[in-house]
Every structure is written in structure tokens, then in C-alpha cells.
Amino acid sequence: MYDPIELADQTRKLVVDDIARKYYRLTRPGRWYGGIATSDCTGCNLKCEFCWSGAPRDHPERIGNFYKPDEVFDALMKCAKRFGYSQIRISGNEPTLGKAHLIKLLELVEKTGLSFILETNGTLLDVEYTKDLSRFKNLHVRVSLKGTNREEFSRLTGAKPSGFDLQLNALKNLIDAGLSCHPSVMLSFSPKKNLEALKEKIAPSMVGELEEEYVILYPLVVARLKKSGLKPLIAYDPKGVPRELT
């Protein structure tokens, strides 16, 4: 088993160069959240078996190009304007790996009327990090929990079970910092009783905001799951994802 913090340190050396960050796709339109402009970054500190990112996650040393915050900002703004979006995000892998890059990008976005949705696994969002994020008023943070407990987290990611505690701590840190946020949770491998137990562990104010997340059976995901031996209880074909999950 690996330590998510140690893997973050190793991956950061490959995907962060001072204020520049590595991306494998600079911009694209997206249907999620009702429509959002998206840039896809390279490199993650978790290795989820249900992840749809292939080489950009597994081989960050050879995938993608480095871009400065203003370059990413310009691309996102052009995409948002073209499609009439009011929201932008970084997706694909773990955007919090490059803190200086992310902060500078948020400073640029803060001057616009757009909202920035930070999708993260939360393992790096300690008290200091969330405090630095708290000054951005148009920021919303979505913490994607990898399962409902420590055992599921470890089985789904291959990481040490303690990584799940980092995710729960991130939710607390975000609330304490006064940030707009909500948790999502991968439920494709979880019995209902485990979800109910999770609700007892998170802040009551977040229970009603808990977003259900399920495996989408992209070809790469199917191959990953087959290799790992994991069988989802619930999963969706890419063309059949319910509207309420997008």
C-alpha cells in the first residue's frame, strides 16, 4: 500500500514547475453541472480502480505540457464565452497538487463573474491549504470520497486506509474555513448500511448535500475493474448516465 501524501510529493516533481502545471488537455466543454468549461490536468496522488484517466494519471512523466495560470485562464474563458457557461473547473486528475498554480488561477478567476468548481480528493486540504482558499468567494469545492469508510477507500484506491481520514478531515477544514463545499461519494461498491454509517461521520449540514457518485463504464474503466477483480453493484454506460447524476 502507498501513502497518498508521499505519492503527492513524488507526482508533484513531475507535474509542477514553479508556477506552471502540466495539463494533457487545455480546454473542453462539459455537460456536468449543467455546463462547464474544463481543463484537464496531469497526475494524481490516488490510483482509484474506477478512474477514467489513463496515461495522464499513470505516466505523468511523459504525458501533457506545462502551462502557466494565465494560459489556462485564457483557454477556460474562451471556452466559457463560446458555450455560454458561467462555471469553469480543472478536472482529469488532482488539481491541488500545484498549489501556487491553483491559487494564481483562482486570483484571475476572482476578477470575473464566473464560478470555479474545485474537484478534489481532498487528501491535501489541510488547515493551511483551506485557509489560503478561503479568500476566494466564487470558489466551490467538491470533495470526492473514495468509498464510505477506510476499508472501502483502501480497496478502491490501493492506498493506506488512513487516507480516508484525510478526506474526512478535508471536509471539516473546509467548513471551518467558511468555504462553499459539498462531498460526493463513490457508491458503486458500497452496501446501503455503509452509506448510512458515513452520514454519521460527516457534519449534519453536509448530509443533505451528499452527492451520489457511480462508476461510468468507459472502456478503460471496464479494463481496470476486470484486472482488479472489483465488481460494481451499480454502474452506468457512458450514454446512459441519468440526468440527475450529471
Instruction: Specify if 243 maps to a domain.
Output: no
Instruction: Specify if 219 maps to a domain.
Output: yes
Buried/exposed code over 87-109 (b: 16+ C-beta within 10 A; e: otherwise): bbbbbbbbbbbbbebbbbbbebb
CATH number at residue 194: 3.20.20.70
Three-state DSSP at 125 gives coil
DSSP assignment letter at 45: S
Instruction: Specify if 183 maps to a domain.
Output: yes
Q: What are 59's three cell numbers?
A: 505516466
Report the alpha-carbon distance of residue 155 to residue 160 in Å, rounded. 9
pTM: 0.94
Around Cβ 223, how many Cβ atoms within 10 Å? 11
Instruction: Specify if 246 maps to a domain.
Output: no
pLDDT per position as a tens digit, 109-124: 999 989 999 999 999 9
pLDDT per position as a tens digit, 71-114: 999 999 999 999 999 999 999 999 999 999 999 999 999 999 89
Domain that holds residue 219: 4-237
Report the alpha-carbon distance of residue 58 to residue 27 in Å, rounded. 21
Instruction: Specify if 242 maps to a domain.
Output: no
Q: What are 124's three cell numbers?
A: 491535501
pLDDT per position as a tens digit, 170-186: 999 999 999 999 999 99
- C-alpha dist (Å) from residue 181 to 118, 168, 192, 245: 9, 13, 24, 17
Burial zone of 215 (CB within 10 Å; 0-12 exposed, 13-18 middle, 19+ buried)? buried
Q: How confident is the model at residue 244 (pLDDT cuts 50, 70, 90)?
A: low
Buried/exposed code over 6-36 (b: 16+ C-beta within 10 A; e: otherwise): ebbeebbebbbeebbbbbbebbeebeebeeb
What's the number of domains the chain is made of? Answer: 1
Report the alpha-carbon distance of residue 72 to residue 25 in Å, rounded. 10
Instruction: Specify if 21 maps to a domain.
Output: yes
Instruction: Specify if 151 maps to a domain.
Output: yes
Q: How confident is the model at residue 198 (pLDDT cuts 50, 70, 90)?
A: very high
Q: What sign has the CA pseudo-torsion 101, 104, 110, 111?
A: negative
pLDDT at position 221, please? 86
pLDDT at position 100, please? 98
Instruction: Specify if 164 maps to a domain.
Output: yes
Three-state DSSP at 89 gives strand
